[in-house]
Structure 1
């Protein structure tokens, strides 16, 4: 077991970390509602005032109220001509994440979301992003590109993650939007995890409907982790809950993919799972502190 897998090596901090929270600033609310309506998908966004879109100061106050330390936001440039209702248009912009991270050190961080179509220009842009200490990971919205995780276009980014000692967060499973899902098969991390042994892969969105496949990858590799973003605890499969509490303790981290899941809403449901103190602590923050190693230097 590596140091990143050892629960005893976790930081003494105890607050929750959301490893995937989409941009929560108020102007994004109308964009989310328009995107959902256009695609006709059965998805609701949080609308109650204490768990919905907010400015930075209001979000920090909310985080303090519910016991959260840090939110990590997928962040990217929006290419000219990009779909105005696609994921990249809903992600945080660089200036927004930079402003949040600067105004509230340690409370907000960014995960640079890559565009594999851009070749080495994209790799150089990722290098520039990682020069900022508050940029703590690289991120792939897999379904935007219809490329499985073992596609060659991603390999330079995996190498960059290893060199920079940052994790790679990728959505696996199906997509909430009208995009092909096969590219999200969790087993596509198999070859990358073998080849890039020092790259930490976070398979997000539980892997549903291939949850057991995602669990198998996390069990097989000490550098593969699971993330629960986009699914509130009441919707987790029995095998996932068992994994979190037993074999996968320290290998799974909590996230929301806000606004599809609200922070207050999700944390409130965790108590229903009876995970035990250690497993719950690992899920909501312990594992993330070891995987996202840059977080410890932000405060």
Structure 2
């Protein structure tokens, strides 16, 4: 079947952005070589009102806020969610090298503030995802029924990339078949491995965070248009990419039908983080 360009469909509605970093700062690492206009957005900063206005202007109904990696911003994110409970869910970056402190943090995030996603990043830990340090956090996420997001692919910050090779996730899935895993940040140059992991393991999904939609790997779009329609979800990694730019490019993606497009921009993230 030949794909049809999205403008032939009704515009997508109720977009859910699965990764928003409202307080992204210098601790995220220097990625200016990838996003040359980012410095201006960081200099300006983002208030909650500005974030809501930008989401509304682009047609983003809901978003998953991220705290933990970019400073002490948990309180900001919780307040934003409590102010707009119909608009936001919460995620937090956990460092598994903290041992039982990381496990207790996960339990507190979920029990106290209803966090819906735990994130871990090889670029931060410099550990492959099948290293022992991660396993207590994986086990706690299974116990709590909370998905975990793992950054895969060459990271933007100029640190070694081998720790974000997605292949070790295969070991994790075999050991924790009930763990819901979201592969984030693209997976390049190992995109085919990401697809193979989704084909093999029913609890693995993929979000297109930090990838401008026009640059989404063809293998991912092919998978989203076929057996992976329920596995691939939109994410911007705002403010690295703006909602305006991302949604402007989404309408030009080649989806076979409006249902698959809607699952990508809203339905899959809605089901995982808001249901």
TM-score, normalized by the shorter chain, greater than 0.5: yes
Pair 1:200-2:188 in alignment: no
**Match 1:71 to one of 63, 71, 78:** 63
| Alpha carbons 1:97, 1:109 under 8 Å: kept | no
Are residues 214 and 189 of structure 1, via their aligned partners in 2, closer, same or farther at CA, if it must alter by over 3 Å?
A: same
Name the residue aligned to 1:79. none
User: What is the CA–CA distance in structure 1 between the aligned matches of 2:166 and 2:28, rounded to whole Å?
Assistant: 29
Counterpart Cα distance in 2 of 1:45 and 1:214:
29
Structural mapping, 1:55-204, within 5 Å = 55-76=47-68, 88=69, 90=70, 93-204=73-184
CA RMSD in angstroms, aligned pairs only: 2.3
Q: Give yes or no for the alignment of 1:214 onto 2:194.
A: yes
The answer to whether the Cα contact below 8 Å between 1:200 and 1:291 also exists between their aligned partners in 2 is no
CA-CA distance at 1:270 after TM superposition: 1.1
Give 3-state SS (helix, strand or coil) of 1:207's partner.
coil
Query: Deviation of residue 215 (structure 1)?
Result: 0.8
Q: Does 1:252 align with 2:251?
A: no
Offset of 1:35 from its aligned partner?
4.6
Asked if 1:42 is matched to 2:34, the reply is: yes
CA contact (8 A) 2:153 2:189 kept: yes
Residues 259-268 or 128-137, more deviating: 128-137
Asked if 1:286 corresponds to 2:267, the answer is: yes
SS in 2 for 1:202: strand
For the Cα contact (< 8 Å) 2:27–2:71, is it kept in 1?
no
Q: Matches of 2:39 and 2:15 in 1, distance apart? A: 22
TM-score of the pair, normalised by structure 1 = 0.80
Relative to structure 1, the CA distance from residue 279 to residue 160 in structure 2 (aligned partners, 3 Å threshold; closer, same or farther) is same
> 1:5 matched to which residue of 2?
none
CA positional deviation for 1:66: 2.4
Kindly state the Cα deviation for residue 157 of structure 1 after the two structures are TM-superposed. Answer: 1.2
2: distance between equivalents of 1:193 and 1:73? 26
Cα displacement (A) at 1:244: 1.4
Q: Distance in 1 between matches of 2:114 and 2:266?
A: 17
Structure 2: gaps of 5 or more residues: 1-11
Structure 1 segments, 4+ long, off by >4 Å, are 32-35, 45-49
